[in-house]
């Protein structure tokens, strides 16, 4: 989700069209860079899972909440503050992994709630499977498809962010369940778009600007991945609660019918 934090290609002269107009095959150095990025992304996901587990089991000093958000945000600032040079490599990786752990802590309450609804963990497993499938599908489409079709995604996604911010502010005052549902699905659509957009920009940066910042690129995709996972989990929890309410109401109606039949 690079455009949310900064101009995706830094201070270099850049036209969004340039990032998408060339559909050449990936060179070997770019392929090697992508392998490093996705390997680092897999590691951050495992660390985030450990963070969620630490919240649920109470193994860490504090659970997910405002403090974990602040520490994670400080890690983001640190990654931006330290330039991508060999001397800063370990520091930046440490900050990335710390951000992943804090992100895991922060979504720990939501994961814990899903387990309270379904002790078997079925909701959590389905959310993880759907997230992997969606992220993998959109990543492949971005790598294999003609890059020209994604030329206008940046502006569209930025507009969606503005719309979601407005919807969230409005919903703070009216508390509409319908509006919250719309936010979930619109946010899911937005993060799916960012998977495509960020993947394309990473390829462009690595190919034409020789910018192969593994930490930054992994961070962008990790934010997209977590955004998808959280919204899918929210949707599954909401559907489970709605189904439970319907079952409860049907059971009450059936009990009333049985009681009336006894008179």
Q: If you average pLDDT over every residue of the chain, what do you get?
A: 86
Q: Could you read off the pLDDT of 138-194 as tens digits, one per residue?
A: 998 888 765 555 656 788 888 999 999 999 999 999 989 899 999 999 999 999 999
- Identify whether 94 is part of a domain: yes
- Identify whether 17 is part of a domain: no
Q: Are 97 and 42 in contact (CB under 8 A)?
A: no
- Identify whether 21 is part of a domain: no
Q: With pLDDT > 70 as the criterion, what percentage of the chain qualifies?
A: 83
Q: Are 40 and 218 in contact (CB under 8 A)?
A: yes
pLDDT recorded at residue 235: 96
- Identify whether 263 is part of a domain: no
- Identify whether 18 is part of a domain: no
- Identify whether 259 is part of a domain: no
- Identify whether 165 is part of a domain: yes
Our count of domains for the chain comes to 1
pLDDT recorded at residue 216: 96
Q: Are 205 and 9 in contact (CB under 8 A)?
A: yes
* The pLDDT of residue 11 is above 90: no
pLDDT recorded at residue 143: 81
Six-digit token pair at 188?
A: 């899911």
Q: How confident is the model at residue 26 (pLDDT cuts 50, 70, 90)?
A: confident
Q: Could you read off the pLDDT of 139-153 as tens digits, one per residue?
A: 988 887 655 556 567
Six-digit token pair at 54?
A: 């630490």
* CB-count burial class (<10 Å; 0-12, 13-18, 19+) for 78: middle
pLDDT recorded at residue 209: 86
Longest dimension (CA), the chain: 84
How is 164-230 classified by DSSP, letter by letter? HHHHHHHHHHH--HHHHHHHHHHHHHHHHHHHHHHHHHHHHHHHHS----HHHHHHHHHHHHHHHHH
- Identify whether 250 is part of a domain: no
Domain ranges, residue 101: 26-243
* The pLDDT of residue 19 is above 90: no
Q: Could you read off the pLDDT of 68-106 as tens digits, one per residue?
A: 999 999 999 999 999 999 999 999 999 999 999 999 999
Q: With pLDDT > 90 as the criterion, what percentage of the chain qualifies?
A: 63
Cα(173)–Cα(200) distance, rounded to whole angstroms?
38
């Amino acid at each position: 989700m690079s455009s949310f934090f900064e101009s995706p290609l830094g201070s270099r002269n850049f036209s969004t069209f340039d990032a998408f107009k060339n559909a050449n095959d990936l060179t070997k150095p770019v392929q090697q860079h992508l392998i490093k990025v996705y390997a680092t992304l897999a590691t951050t996901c495992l660390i985030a899972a450990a963070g969620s587990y630490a919240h649920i089991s109470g193994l860490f000093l504090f659970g997910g909440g405002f403090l974990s958000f602040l520490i994670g945000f400080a890690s983001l600032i640190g990654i931006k503050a330290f330039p991508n040079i060999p001397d800063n490599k370990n520091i930046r990786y440490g900050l990335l992994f710390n951000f992943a752990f804090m992100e895991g802590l922060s979504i720990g309450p939501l994961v814990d709630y899903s387990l309270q609804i379904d002790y078997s963990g079925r909701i959590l497993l389905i959310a993880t499977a759907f997230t992997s499938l969606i992220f993998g599908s959109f990543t492949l489409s971005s790598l294999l498809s003609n890059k020209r079709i994604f030329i206008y995604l940046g502006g569209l996604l930025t507009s969606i962010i503005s719309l979601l911010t407005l919807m969230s502010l409005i919903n703070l005052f009216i508390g509409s369940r319908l509006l919250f549902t719309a936010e979930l699905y619109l946010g899911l659509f937005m993060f799916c778009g960012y998977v495509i957009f960020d993947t394309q920009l990473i390829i462009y940066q690595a190919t034409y600007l020789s910018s192969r910042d593994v930490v930054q690129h992994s961070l962008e995709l990790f934010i997209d991945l977590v955004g998808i996972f959280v919204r899918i989990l929210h949707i599954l929890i909401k559907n489970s609660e709605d189904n439970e309410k319907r079952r409860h109401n049907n059971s009450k109606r059936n009990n009333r019918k049985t009681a009336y039949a006894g008179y």
